[in-house]
Amino acid sequence: EKIPLTLNVNGSKHALSIEPRVTLLDLLREELQLTGTKKGCDHGQCGACTVHVDGVRVNSCLSLAVMNEGKSITTIEGLATGDTLHPMQAAFIKHDGFQCGYCTPGQIMSAVACVREGHAKSKADIREYMSGNICRCGAYPNIVDAIEEVQK
């Protein structure tokens, strides 16, 4: 049985009807076609699915969509302003903060939260805050450099 659900996603209101078992991740990717948010592990281990819910970072694979009634979701698609990249997106490009790019949307969403929440004061701080975002290519040093630049 489907349940009504109203969400604000990247500034647009969506009135949806969704089965209670559907995760926020699957809703974003499959109902709203916002495929920038990635499914890595689907059980809270990799961070590829990171989005912001009312400004707080969340692993969207661990959140049932229906738990987000009335909330505001920001995905990687919602970071840029028109053609202007978010400073964190620009910093990831400048510092080569990725290789294959699969983890990058989640990394950037966490990185934005890292600076916003004041956890980017040192490399050690950044590494700790970002420890839930796994990168198989090992781009970690460049990711930390990108975050440090935005923090400045």
Per CB under 6 A, contacts with ligand FES among 47-66 are 47-49, 59, 61
Residue 108 half-sphere exposure toward CB, CA atoms < 13 A: 27
Q: How far is the CB of 123 from ligand FES (least distance, A)?
A: 23
Q: How far is the CB of 83 from ligand FES (least distance, A)?
A: 29
List Cβ neighbours of 90 (8 Å cut-off, separation of 6 or more).
Answer: none
Helix axes 140-151, 87-94, angle to 10 degrees: 140
Q: Please give the Cα distance from 141 to 94 (Å, whole number).
A: 13
Query: Of the listed pieces 41-49, 87-95, 111-119, 138-146, which binds ligand FES according to CB under 6 A?
Result: 41-49
For ligand FES, the closer of residues 33 and 84 by Cβ is 33
Give me the DSSP letters along 41-86: SSSSSS-TTEEEETTEEEEGGGSBGGGGTT-EEE-GGGTSBTTBPP
Q: Please give the Cα distance from 10 to 36 (Å, whole number).
A: 12
Q: How far is the CB of 133 from ligand FES (least distance, A)?
A: 9
Select the residue whose beta carbon is closest to ligand FES and give its number: 61
Query: Of the listed pieces 37-45, 75-83, 96-104, 143-151, which binds ligand FES according to CB under 6 A?
Result: 37-45
Q: How far is the CB of 134 from ligand FES (least distance, A)?
A: 8
Q: Is residue 112 within 8 Å of 47, Cβ to Cβ?
A: no
Question: Would you count residue 6 as binding ligand FES (CB under 6 A)?
Answer: no
List of residues contacting ligand FES (CB under 6 A):
39-42, 44-49, 59, 61
